[in-house]
Amino acid sequence: MSDLIRRTAAEMADALAKGETTSVELTRAHLDRIAEVDGALHAFLHVDAEGALEAARAADERRATGSPASPLDGVPIAVKDVLTTRGMPTTCGSRILEGWVPPYDATVVRRLREAGLPILGKTNMDEFAMGSSTEHSAYGPTRNPWDLERIPGGSGGGSAAAVAAYEAPIALGTDTGGSIRQPGAVTGTVGMKPTYGGVSRYGLVALANSLDQVGPVTRTVRDAALLHSVIGGHDPKDSTSLAEPVPDVLAAVEQGATGDLSGLRIGVVTELGGYGYQGGVLERFKESVDLLVQAGADVVEVSCPHFVHALATYYLILPAEASSNLARFDAMRYGLRVLPEGVEAPSAEEVMRATREAGFGDEVKRRIILGTYALSSGYYDAYYGQAQKMRTLISRDFENAFAQADVLVSPTAPTTAFPIGEKVDDPLAMYLNDLATIPANLSGVPGISVPSGLAHEDDLPAGFQVLAPPLKDDRCYRVGAALEARLHEKWGGSLLDRAPDVKVVTR
């Protein structure tokens, strides 16, 4: 493997600025790596070598004339396939959008292009981001670089696996209930879900529009902050976008990287730990909390009593919103159209039914039907109405907790990566993976997952989650950077240094 691709995005940007490498060289090295290992990993659904190299050449010209478009100008990136990309297919991991080439860019994609980042390709995901393992992709699962027989998390398993396996230095993910943070935890990478409304959702194909948020998938906290700075900020094309400045996340990383957290109050959430959490994951969590105490932080235990209802609340809100959002796949304007068999001159409704039968996978059907049920008259108050009230109570729990602590912490995911196939047809078991990440989406607060080490049972990565109040994303970065610095010191390098090389484990 080329040493070039093992660098962080910040180091790559430095090397580009100093003229030690070129964007074309960097981009080519990553394309070579993809060609080498993606047959085993399947992190990408589409690779755009030509487009990426063209963007790289343009970046090199800007650097040569001393006018880079951004600090990351020329650093290549991968994009989750749920974000629209002009001229590049966008499938959302679904057959219903197979081959669809959007006529417009998502705002975050436009910002990447304007900042000069060559887009390597589109990454695999659970169909319409419904899942925690990437096994629900219609195009086959992505494999975890730490163990090819295991899941890379989901729904953004493709982005996390690509970054963990050095196919891309950084990537974009989306997080509706943990789809950035949980894949980060199980692949030993960093994943950040910004405050709801902090990053534009324009061009993000909606799963649950009141929960979805775009964010960085990276190998270091600093790289996440660099990418956050590129994609964040108000967008008039998204009516839920907040007209607030992006917090100074880079300054927060510098402050955190000193390893000093004196005076910071850290709240350990009672309800996010204990029963259902793997022993080795909890061990790594406690060790990280101890390191933060050594860094000067004060630790308090806080209770968020309604978090025990977060999972149930989420699995009513999400299907309800998804069933409405996915009604747009009607076989009329774009995507698949399937004619029912044996029907002469079928009606639009019959065509729609046949198309959605053929184009959607099991999990999507389950959730659409569940959402239709929760929204139907007679059940609306008992289900959707109750869930909306529960959302208020969960947000109040956050407010109370943040009155006692500056940030809240928990393990990101209750377990390490599980074997492919183990939970694919057991929806409830699958849903439990998002136990600790879901509350943040229900209340819109920011959260980051940072690698916390390997669990003793299986030597697989675990993640440490830091949650902050709305618009205080900088606190996630400060604490994340401090923990990362302390852990790197302890390990003598990054966690990914201990991952097997994918090439070696390829069968």
Partner 1 sequence: MPEISRDEVAHLATLARIELSEEELDHLAPQLSVILDSVASIAGVAGDDVPPTSHPMPLTNVFRDDVVEPCLTPEEALAGAPEQQDQRFAVPRILGDEQ
Q: Is 155 a catalytic residue?
A: yes
Residue 501's contacts (CB-CB under 8 Å, 6 or more residues apart) are: 1
SS3 31: helix
If binding is defined by CB under 8 A, does position 442 make contact with partner 1?
A: yes
Give the whole-angstrom CA distance, residue 410 versus residue 282.
9
Q: How many residues interact with partner 1 (rule CB under 8 A)?
A: 71
Q: Which is nearer to partner 1, 49 or 358 (CB)?
A: 358
- 23, 132, 179, 200: which one is catalytic? 179
If binding is defined by CB under 8 A, does position 335 make contact with partner 1?
A: yes
If binding is defined by CB under 8 A, does position 121 make contact with partner 1?
A: no
Candidates 15, 53, 125, 316; binder of partner 1 (CB under 8 A) is 316
Q: Work out the burial of residue 260: count CB atoms within 10 Å of its CB; fewer than 13 is exposed, 13-18 middle, 19 or more buried.
A: middle
Q: Is 80 a catalytic residue?
A: yes
Residue 346: half-sphere exposure toward Cβ, Cα within 13 Å: 16
If binding is defined by CB under 8 A, does position 240 make contact with partner 1?
A: yes
If binding is defined by CB under 8 A, does position 21 make contact with partner 1?
A: no
If binding is defined by CB under 8 A, does position 353 make contact with partner 1?
A: yes
Q: Which residues pair with 463 in a beta bridge?
A: 451
CB 482 within 8 A of CB 259: yes
Q: Work out the burial of residue 112: count CB atoms within 10 Å of its CB; fewer than 13 is exposed, 13-18 middle, 19 or more buried.
A: buried
Give the whole-angstrom CA distance, residue 261 versus residue 296.
5
- 23, 70, 80, 133: which one is catalytic? 80
Q: Which residues within the stretch 455-484 sit at the binding site for partner 1 (CB under 8 A)?
A: 470
If binding is defined by CB under 8 A, does position 315 make contact with partner 1?
A: yes
Q: Which residues within the stretch 217-236 sit at the binding site for partner 1 (CB under 8 A)?
A: 236
Supply the minimum distance, in Å, between the C-beta of residue 112 and partner 1: 20
* Residue labelled with tokens 């966008």: 90
Q: Which residues within the stretch 391-430 sit at the binding site for partner 1 (CB under 8 A)?
A: 391-393, 395, 427-428
Q: Is 494 a catalytic residue?
A: no
If binding is defined by CB under 8 A, does position 103 make contact with partner 1?
A: yes
If binding is defined by CB under 8 A, does position 362 make contact with partner 1?
A: yes
- Count CB-CB contacts under 10 A for residue 372: 16
Which span (12-20, 279-287, 381-389, 450-458) binds partner 1, by CB under 8 A?
Answer: 381-389
Supply the minimum distance, in Å, between the C-beta of residue 218 and partner 1: 24
If binding is defined by CB under 8 A, does position 356 make contact with partner 1?
A: yes
Q: Which is nearer to partner 1, 64 or 348 (CB)?
A: 348
Q: Which is nearer to partner 1, 237 or 503 (CB)?
A: 237
Q: Which is nearer to partner 1, 219 or 391 (CB)?
A: 391
If binding is defined by CB under 8 A, does position 312 make contact with partner 1?
A: yes
Which span (63-71, 222-230, 260-268, 323-331) binds partner 1, by CB under 8 A?
Answer: 323-331
* Paired sense of beta strands 77-80 and 119-123, if any: parallel
Which span (54-62, 257-265, 369-377, 454-462) binds partner 1, by CB under 8 A?
Answer: 369-377
CB 445 within 8 A of CB 469: yes
If binding is defined by CB under 8 A, does position 251 make contact with partner 1?
A: no
Q: Which residues pair with 173 in a beta bridge?
A: 215
Candidates 349, 377, 504, 507; binder of partner 1 (CB under 8 A) is 349
**What's the start-to-end Cα distance of the chain, in Å?**
18
If binding is defined by CB under 8 A, does position 89 make contact with partner 1?
A: no
Q: Which is nearer to partner 1, 270 or 388 (CB)?
A: 388
* Paired sense of beta strands 265-269 and 407-411, if any: parallel
Give the whole-angstrom CA distance, residue 269 versus residue 247.
25
Supply the minimum distance, in Å, between the C-beta of residue 82 and partner 1: 16
In the sheet that holds 265-269, the strands lie side by side as 44-47, 119-123, 77-80, 170-174, 214-218, 190-193, 447-454, 461-467, 407-411, 265-269, 298-302
Give the whole-angstrom CA distance, residue 429 versus residue 180.
19
Residue 472: which of 284, 156, 245 has the closest Cα?
245
Q: Which is nearer to partner 1, 161 or 374 (CB)?
A: 374
Q: Which residues are catalytic?
A: 80, 155, 179
